[in-house]
Structure 1
Amino acid sequence: MAFGEFEEFDAVPVPRPGAAPDRLQYLLDNTPALIYCTVPSGDFKMTFVSNNAFNVLGYRPDDMLADPNFWFDHIHPDDVPRVVASLAKVFTEGRQVYEYRFRAASGDYLWMHDSLRLVRDDAGRPLEVIGALTDITDRKRMEETLQARGAEQQRLIGKLRTAHEQLLQAEKMASIGQLAAGIAHEINNPIGFVNSNMGSLQAYVDTLLRVIDSYDGTIADHPALQARMTPVRAAADLEFVRGDVTALVRESIDGLRRVKEIVQSLKEFSHVGETEWQLADLHRGLDSTLNIVANELKYKVTVIKEYGHLPLVECRASQLNQVFMNLLINAGQAIAGRGTIRIRTGAQEGWVWVEIADNGAGIAPEHLTRIFEPFFTTKPVGSGTGLGLSLSYGIVHRHGGRIEVRSDPGRGTAFTVWLPLHPPPVKEDDEVA
C-alpha cells in the first residue's frame, strides 16, 4: 500500500443519530489531525493514538503505543532541545504549541504542528497530556519559498540601489567633467588677451624704465636740473617703484602661466565627449590630476614622482583620471599631519602599472577585504560616500585591469593599478554598467 493511502482497519460504522461514542470515534479516525495521549512524565509514553496515524505518518497506532520512547525518538534531533527546553510550560501554563520535524515511516521528516494540553484529575494532579499533530509540511515549504524569494528580492533591491547610486555618482562625475570643460573654455578667452596684454605691459615698463635711465643720464650734466628732480624722485620713491613694478609684472605673468596650466589640466582631466578608446599618456593624466587636487594636498603632502617609461595605453583617459583622483584624495585624507605621497609607474610584459603610496594611517586588516564594497567607508559621517574605491574598481575592471592594495596600519597604504596595453573587448553589460 502506498504511503498516504487509507488503510482499512476494523470498519468504523457511520454513527447513528444519538450514538455519541460512535460519533466521537468517527471524528477521531477521520480528522486531519492525529490525536494522541501521553503520560505526563518521563519520556511522555503514548497511551492513545487515533486510527488515522497511518494516513498522517504511515505508522500503525499499535506500533506507536508499544515503544515507550516513540514520540521523543522520532522528533528531529535539531528540534529536540527546543521542545524539551520549554516542555515544562505544559505543566505551568496548561498548554503548549510546537512546530517541529517528525520522522514518518518513509524516513522523511515532516513538519508537524503539535498542540499539547494538560489534563488534571479532580484533585488537580496531572493526569495525561493530549496532543493534536497536524502535517504542515506544505505550508512550511511555501514559507521557505516565500522567504527565499524575499531574500532574492532584497538582494536585487540592494543591487539596484547600488547600481542607482553608482549611476548617480557617474553622472555627477560626467557633470563635473562638462563643467570643467566649460570653465576651461570660458577662461581661455580672457586669459588669452590678458596674457597678451601682460606681455605688452612688460615691454612698455621696460621701455619706460629705459627712458627714465636716459633722462637721468642727460640731467647728470645739468646740476640745477638734477637738483630740481632729486626731491621729485624721492617723493615718488622711484628706486622702489623700479624694482617693484618689475617684480609685479613678472609675478603676474607667472600667475597667468599657472592659470593656463590649470585650465589645460581641466581640459585634459575631463576629456568631455570621449566615447572611444584611445591611446593615452598616463603620465599626462597623472600630472593633470595632480593639478586638479593640488589644493587638497599642497598644505600637508609632499608628492614624489618616480615615473618609469610608459608606452601609450589604450583606454578612456578621463575615467582613469577619476581613478587617480580618488586614490590621491584618499591618500591625502589618510595623512593626519605632514606626509608623503609617492607615485611610481612602470611597464611589464604587456602591462603598465601605477602605484600611489602614502605614509598615512593605513587600513585595518579587517577592512581590507571590504574597501571596494559600495558604500563601505571608515571615514566620519559626511566625509565620504564609500563609492570612490568601488567606482575605481569598476573602471579598472572594465579596462581589463586590476587594483592591488597593501597596507601596514600606522605606516601607510599603497594602491597599484595594473592595466593591459590593449584591453580585451568590452562586453555590452560592462558598457551599460
Structure 2
Amino acid sequence: MHKKSTITRITTWIAGVLAVSVALILPLGYFVVSYQYMVGSLETEAEVNAIIISQVISANPMMWRYEQLRLEELLARRSESIHREARRILDPQNRLIAENVHPLKHPLLKRAYPLLDAGECVATLEISRSLHSLMVRTGLVALLGGSIGCILFITLRVLPIRAVIRAEKSLREANEFLNKVMESTTNAISVVDREGKIILMNRRSSEISGYSTGALIGQPISILFPADRFSPVNEHFGEIMTQGVAVSQFEAVMVRKDGRMMNMECGVAPLSQEDETVSMVLSAEDITERKRAEGELKTTQMQLLQQEKMASIGQLAAGVAHEINNPMGFISSNLCTLDKYTDRFCEFIRYQSEALAGSRTAEEVAEKKNHLKLDRITTDVKQLIHESLDGAERVKKIVQNLKSFSRLDEAELKYADINECLESTVNIVWNELKYKATLNRDLGAIPQTKCYPQQLNQVFMNLLVNAAHAIEKQGEITVRTWREDGFIHVSVSDTGCGIPEKIRDRIFEPFYTTKEVGKGTGLGLSISYDIVKKHNGEILVESEAGRGTTFTVRIPVAS
C-alpha cells in the first residue's frame, strides 16, 4: 500500500505539471506565433504602401499634399485584407493629410513607415490593426489547451494507477501460481541468498526438516545438514555462485530438528539478475525409503548371486570331486607305499643296531640291505614324496579356488588381474571342459583394473560351462584377453551348436534356459549381464547355428 501511494503521488505531480504546461504553453505559443505573423505582414503592408505613395510624391513633389482623393484611393486599394486596418498619412508635424479608416477594437497594433522624396522624409504612413480577434482566438486556444491539459491530467493520473493495479494483480497471481507450484511438488524447495541464508521455502521443506517455516527463514542453510557432512554441499553452493551453472543431482544427508538423519537427493540452480547470481534454489527429495529399498534389493541380489554360485558349484560338484579324488588317490597310494618302505627302513635300522652290538657282521648287513632293496627304495621315496606334494598342492589350489569362488563378494572394489581370474575359474570348471573340448588360451598383456573379481569369476564360469555344454562330442574352446580403446576384452569362443537367431534376443532374460530340467536355472547369463553392466561394461554375443558362439565381455580399465 505504501508503494502504491508513493506511485500515486508521483504520477499526480507529473500529470499536474504536464497539464498546466499544456494549458499555458499552447495559448502562449499560439499568441506569440500569430502576433509575430501579424507584425510581419503589417510591416510588409506598410512598406508596399509607402513605396507606392512615394512614387506619387516623386511624380508631383509640390502638389501631392492636395491630392487627397487620390491618396485616399491609394490607401483604400490595399485594404482588401483579412485584417481590418486604419491607414493614415501624416505630415512631419503629425497633421492628417489623408486617411482610410475602419472602426477597430482595442488593443491596436500600429506600424509607421516614412514617405520619402529625394531621400528626405516628407510624411509618414501609419497603419493600425486590431489585436482583438487575436486575443479572442488566443482565448479559444487557451480553452482548448485547458481541455487538453485536463484530459492529459486525467489520463496520466488514472492510467498509471490502473497499470499499477494490473501489475499488482499480475504479480499477485504470479506469486499465487508460484506458491501453488512450490506447494504442489513433493520436493523440499528452499531459496538461499548469497550469504547462505534461507529466504523462502515451501511447506514440504518444513515437513521434512521438522522446523516451522518461520523458524527457518533467515537461518543459514547449514542448519539442515550435519556439520561433518556439509562441506560437499557448500562446495556445490560455491560452484553455483562463482560459475552460475546449475549443479546436477547429488546426494546429501539432512538432519531433522529431532536429530534423525535423512538421505536426500538434491539439485541446485542459480537465480540471476543482470547476469549476476543473487540467490540459489535448492530442491531436495527424500530418498530415505528408496535407499533402504536399494539396500534390501542389493542384499537380495547378493543372495541370488550366491545361490546361483552354489547352484553352479553343485552342478560342478562331481567334476570337482573327481579333480580332488585323482590327486588324493595317488597320494593315498604313495602313502601306503611309503608305509611299506618305512617298515623296511625300520627293519634295516634294527639289523644295523644288532651289527653294532656285535651279533651281526658287515657282510650280513650288506646282504640284508640288498635283500631289502634299499638303494632302489631310497630313489623311489623322493619321487613318491614329490608326487604327493604335487598332488596336495593341486588339491589345495582347487579348494582355495572353490573357497574364493563361493564366498560372498566384498562390498568394495579392488584391483585384480583378469587373467588370474580366468585361470582360477578354469581350474574350477576344468573337469567340465577336459572331456568335451580342447582349451586354447590366448591371454594378452592387460593391466590390472578395479573390479569385483569374484563376480567376474561367476561371469567367466557361466560362459565356460555354457561353451562346454554347447559342444555335443568334441570341440574347441578358446579364451582370449586383450586391451583396446581403454577397455579390457575377454572372449570365450566355442565350436558348439550355436544359438538360433530366434532366441538370441532372449538369452539374457531371467529364468530363460534351453537346457533340460534340472540342468540349468536360467539365471546364469542374466546375472552375468547384470554383473558386467555393474562394471560399466557390456557383453556381446556372436553366434552361427552349427558353427559355434563367441561371447565377448568389455569392461573399462578403471583406476
Coarse TM-score class (shorter-chain normalised): 0.3 to 0.5
Alignment TM-score, normalising by the size of structure 2: 0.36
Alignment TM-score, normalising by the size of structure 1: 0.46
Computing the radius of gyration from Cα coordinates, the structure with the larger value is 2
